Structure 1
């Protein structure tokens, strides 16, 4: 009789451990799936940036530093390995900051602000940013679930053994929430 109780306890513990392992796998795959939605929108944005820079260049050619910063940030974001989500988030925040500077330039150049091509590119970018925002909310929700499970009981007991991976939230950097300052006095 005690032998059957010991076997039942071992089977119960095995089922619990398998359930915990499967939850880690599910959470990680859900986060990666959520990131793939963001990745699609980011690629669309990467493709749009060169056209945007070329359009602005025609009106604000002497703003070379700003335009080069956008291209460098874009290239840096593209260069991040696709499986390194946390580094990709950092690169995207830097790119977002430089993109804001281009739109700040449009305020100083009325002809650029009225350019049909620029307006179409701006509308397309706004659409992409809206898609990114939705994907970002979903991604952050999956990250919250993954991180909470891996850092709380009983997940924390098995996190190291089962390859738990902590993911960063995809949030705007504090600096990107500030207004961009553009000075044309020189």
Structure 2
């Protein structure tokens, strides 16, 4: 009788271990997929930078150094080595977008310029997609990190070398500037 009890307990332990591993794999894949989507959205937003830099070059309020920095932001994001560097660069892009749009408000002729309005809408749309993807990534990272922090499950996470995810956070979107 004791042998059957021990056998049942071992089987239950193996099943629970397998389910825990399966949950880690699912949450890990979800976090990786969310990161990939966020990365793609940030790259798509970065594709708009050269066009904006070209438009911004005509504003007297913006100096040449600012335009030069803006035009090189796309490459700076690609070369970021760590998540903290990437967050800093993405935050810088958002700040530069805000500065360009603030300078653009001083030019009433741009309110009727079809090309600039289209560019502005594209950037705001891209920024919104980045913000949405950022929230999904942070949510997936939080879910994974929460499971990995639970005491018996953290041993499984260490056993299979599942590392916690860092959160990605930067300034809110351009909506406030556009209001």
Q: Is 1:71–2:65 an aligned residue pair?
A: no
Give the distance between the partners of 1:156 and 1:67, measured in 2 at CA: 48
Deviation at 1:121, TM superposition (A): 0.5
Deviation at 1:111, TM superposition (A): 4.2
Which residue of the partner structure matches residue 183 of structure 1?
A: none
Deviation at 1:80, TM superposition (A): 3.5
1:74-153 equivalences under 5 Å are 74-80=74-80, 87-112=85-110, 114-153=112-151
Deviation at 1:101, TM superposition (A): 2.1
Q: Secondary structure at the match of 1:159?
A: helix
Cα deviation digits, residues 108-140 of structure 1 (max 9, x gap)? 444455533222111111111122222222222
Query: Do the aligned residues in 1 keep the contact of 2:59 with 2:103 (CA within 8 Å)?
Result: no
Give the aligned CA root-mean-square deviation in angstroms: 2.7
Number of equivalent positions? 176
Distance 1:91 1:155, change over 3 A: farther
Deviation at 1:165, TM superposition (A): 2.0
Which residue of the partner structure matches residue 2 of structure 1?
A: 2
Which has the higher mean CA deviation after the structures are superposed, 138-147 or 101-110?
101-110
TM-score normalised according to structure 1 size: 0.79
TM-score normalised according to structure 2 size: 0.82
Give the distance between the partners of 1:89 and 1:136, measured in 2 at CA: 11
Deviation at 1:62, TM superposition (A): 5.8
Which residue of the partner structure matches residue 54 of structure 2?
A: 54
Deviation at 1:90, TM superposition (A): 3.8
Which stretches in structure 1 are left out of the alignment for 5+ residues? 181-186
Q: Secondary structure at the match of 1:169?
A: coil
1:23-62 equivalences under 5 Å are 23-60=23-60
Query: Do the aligned residues in 1 keep the contact of 2:49 with 2:73 (CA within 8 Å)?
Result: no
Distance 1:30 1:103, change over 3 A: same
Give the distance between the partners of 1:91 and 1:163, measured in 2 at CA: 29
Distance 1:86 1:152, change over 3 A: farther
Which stretches in structure 2 are left out of the alignment for 5+ residues? none
Deviation at 1:47, TM superposition (A): 1.2
